[in-house]
Amino acid sequence: MKTKLFYVVMGLALGLNPLKAQQTPAYLDDTQPIEVRIKDALSRMTLEEKVKLCTAQSKFSSHGVPRLGIPEIWMSDGPHGVREEILWDSWGNAEWTNDSCTAFPALTCLAATWNPQMSAIYGKAVGEEARYRRKDILLGPGVNIYRTPLNGRNFEYMGEDPFLSSTMVVPYIKGVQSNGVATCVKHYALNNQEAWRGHIDVELSDRALNEIYLPAFKAAIVEGGSWSIMGSYNKVRGEHACHNDLLLNKILKGEWKFDGCVVTDWGGAHDTKEAALNGLDIEMGSYTNGLSSGKNFAYDNYYLASDYLKGIKDGTYPLSGLEDKATRILRLIFRTAMNSKRPWGSFTTEAHYDVARTVAEEGIVLLKNEAYKKKGTILPLDGNKYRTILVVGENATRRLTEGGGSSVLKVKKEVSPLTGLQTKFGDKIKYTLGYASGSAAYDSENEATYNTDSLHAEAVKQAADADLIVFVGGLNKNHFQDSEGADRKSMALPFGQSELINDLLKVNKNIVVVLLSGNAVEMPWVKNIPSILQAWYLGSESGNAIANVLTGEVNPSGKLPFSFPVKLADNAAHSFGTISYPGDSIKEIYKEDILVGYRWHDTKKIPALFPFGHGLSYTQFKYGKAATDKNNLSGAEEITVSVPVKNIGSVKGKEVIQLYVGEEKCSVLRPLKELKSFQKIELAPGEEQTVSFKIGVGALKFYSETAHDWVSEPGRFKLYIGSSSTDIRSTVSFILN
């Protein structure tokens, strides 16, 4: 007894409280509410430690608080899989051997499923891979709007429509974050092209900003609850987006009440004062321009490092600003790295390959499938009908998970389209390259340089003898294709593919074209090709998914998330000269305003080659007459519109029933119609289902430049129900009082 008392007294004399020592500090105790933990951690931190939180310590990690055991934040690209480890302070590959991931389909494909359930399983699976790889932030998903087919990064985004991308992004975020891994929605905002992305100053109306470019980000934050967001490289109304008062302070943190972290794009910070005051929290990649360059330097030189500390100490910047940044960063850490309840994740599992394949199969879009020579359609492909099937095209074998910039993936498995077809048809499959990317491409396996003319001639020769040709082409992930850092130079198919298709047609008309790309391409041969499939970039299970859809094992049900114009000049952004795209190198004005994508094609009566929402099936769906439960709508009421849909073909299939709304007369210009709801249903042959949608006044509003708010105007509204934005099967109208 005496000895125990002695130790307690001695302990107290030494400043240690043996009773208290047994108590876990609140910030380490995850039975405590996060806000209590943050407060406690902040109370223990020095000014220097708080500032340190705000900058990178390596290419993909930011500082923790080592003294308190608060861990660093580890990040990874995103968004289609978890990127390989790279070196501490250079873009070189770290040559780990445990980091080959599952590649999921590109986000354009996910959007093309028009199925939020696909986003949910995708998010959960890619989040599990990130968690297994001990990442705290997955850098994605991307929701920049598809404004021009030239944007090199469209494949990383979810298409041209704010409602579709908002609907699809939310379950992805929830899925990832259920693993205790934060999403980092990017690139906020208006990074709709790669040309001059580092400095182009985007000007647009408040209406276009609110109606077209912000909704998906808002949904990601307000409904999805993303724990972080990435600022974009470009300027918006004169300020860089990574420290932009309007975008970050007023809209994101003000109106949307975002409580997470704003992370710069890599090298997106440019100024200490703006970084300190305009809403930035974590600065990454300074002194590098994305992937293209980087140099060794001390992280202390970052805008939010020594200069910021000095400014806080001498009163230039308010302490409250730093407290806010540190609070947000700690909140992110407690939600992720210091959340002991988060699951452990898993990596390259069969379940993940199943998710990758299912999403791929559901996102592939059957663009065209016409009867050929009165013999019926080629697709679904019945192998018994053919002795030889000639596969032509580089994309049949090219690894398309490689390249593209920061979304590049090192994968454990990538089934090519050729392998997928060989698995189905064995020796019937013959293959010839037909074209090669670049004027003279090097074939490393055979140590030879291809002569593109002879590749072309050889394919035409073999085509004459083949029963069926499956042409697998499109774009790839090279610079000036679907790739970060530059835009495409034109909308044409590159590497002489269109010329090749035309020459193949001269000797054999039995051709299926499969396009792998994240963007619309010109199709000068479209009238002569009976069957065309848009197969995006599909990741690890690419070839299996394509073969399953070609053969009809899976009935295609994808719908285009963006319009395919006939030619570039038909696209809205390209209709107003270079100031509208790509800008004059300093400034760019979004002159098409709210008329983006189908809103432009519809309103200006410029038909698209393949319209937004288009996608065929191997079965047919008959729509009945749409009916509403009332003819007048007022106040907080909702109107219900219902339509019966029946599968009148002979195979099971899925259909996306799309609901567009248009106002007949309004004091401001409105698009002819806008997507406001959709549902994907599955029907067996002969089965009928009545699909109902509820529309409230919110869906009828436009953003008023004068009221600076969303407003509705009374009048007659038309509801268009269809199988695409132009294949409208039934309309019904009502009056808004």
Residues annotated as catalytic are 265
Cβ 125 to ligand BGC, closest distance in Å? 20
Interaction between residue 78 and ligand BGC (CB under 6 A) = yes
Binding mask 630-669 for ligand BGC (x = CB under 6 A): ----------------------------------------
> What is the C-alpha separation between 7 and 13, in angstroms, rounded?
10
Q: 84-95: string of b/e by CB count within 10 Å (b at 16+)?
A: bbbeebebeeee
Compare residues 115 and 406 and give the one whose CB is closer to ligand BGC. 406
Q: Tell the smallest beta-carbon distance from residue 408 to ligand BGC (Å).
A: 9
Q: What is the DSSP letter of 65?
A: B
Place of tokens 């908002």: 166
Q: Does 595 bind ligand BGC (CB under 6 A)?
A: no
- The Cα 114–Cα 108 span in angstroms is 10
C-alpha count within 13 angstroms, C-beta hemisphere, residue 61: 17
Comparison of 280 and 460: residue with beta carbon closer to ligand BGC: 280
- Nearer to ligand BGC by C-beta: 213 or 266? 266
Q: Taking CB under 6 A as the rule, does residue 152 contact ligand BGC?
A: no
Question: Residue 578: is it exposed, middle or buried by C-beta count within 10 angstroms (0-12/13-18/19+)?
Answer: exposed
Residues 641, 647, 648, 653, Cα dihedral to 10°: 140
CB of 156 to ligand BGC, least distance (A): 8
| Rounded distance between C-alpha atoms, residue 169 and residue 185, angstroms | 9
Alpha-carbon torsion (36, 40, 43, 48), positive or negative: negative
Enumerate the β-bridge partners of residue 482: none
Q: Is 265 in the site for ligand BGC (CB under 6 A)?
A: yes
* Strand, helix or coil for residue 497: helix
Under DSSP, is residue 275 helix (H, G, I), strand (E, B) or coil? helix
Per the CB < 8 A criterion, the answer to whether 164 and 561 are in contact is: yes
**C-alpha pair distances (Å), 664 with each of 671, 713, 716, 721, 734:** 10, 11, 6, 16, 11
Instruction: Output the smallest distance, CB 186 to ligand BGC, in A.
Output: 5
Give me the 165-204 binding string for ligand BGC, x by CB under 6 A, dash otherwise: ---------------------x------------------
Token pair listed for 261? 């972290």
CA distance 590 to 572: 9
**Closer CB to ligand BGC, 99 or 265, in the complex:** 265
Instruction: Decide if residue 266 touches ligand BGC (CB under 6 A).
Output: yes
Per-residue contact flags (x/-) with ligand BGC for residues 399 to 438, judged by CB under 6 A: -------x--------------------------------
Task: Choose between 78 and 543: whose C-beta lies nearer to ligand BGC.
Answer: 78
What is the 8-class DSSP label of residue 28? G
**Count of CB atoms within 10 A of residue 34's CB?**
17
Span 434-473, contacts to ligand BGC by CB under 6 A: none
How many residues touch ligand BGC under the rule CB under 6 A: the total is 9
Rounded to the nearest whole angstrom, what is the least distance from the CB of residue 187 to ligand BGC in the complex?
A: 6
Min dist CB 425 to ligand BGC, Å, is 39
Report yes or no: 606 and 711 within 8 Å, Cβ to Cβ.
no
- Exactly one of 77, 239, 482, 674 binds ligand BGC (CB under 6 A); which one? 77
> Residue 264 or 542: which CB sits closer to ligand BGC?
264
In the bound complex, what is the minimum distance in angstroms from residue 291's beta carbon to ligand BGC? 5
Q: Does position 139 bind ligand BGC by CB under 6 A?
A: yes
Minimum CB distance to ligand BGC smaller for 293 or for 650: 293
For ligand BGC, the closer CB: 186 or 424: 186
Residue nearest to ligand BGC (CB): 290
* CA 663, chain centre distance (Å): 30
**CB of 450: closest distance to ligand BGC in angstroms?**
31
User: Tokens 């319009």 belong to which residue?
Assistant: 563
Question: What is the C-alpha separation between 633 and 737, in angstroms, rounded?
Answer: 6
Under rule CB under 6 A, residue 291 binds ligand BGC: yes
Binding site for ligand BGC (CB under 6 A): 77-78, 139, 186, 265-266, 290-291, 406
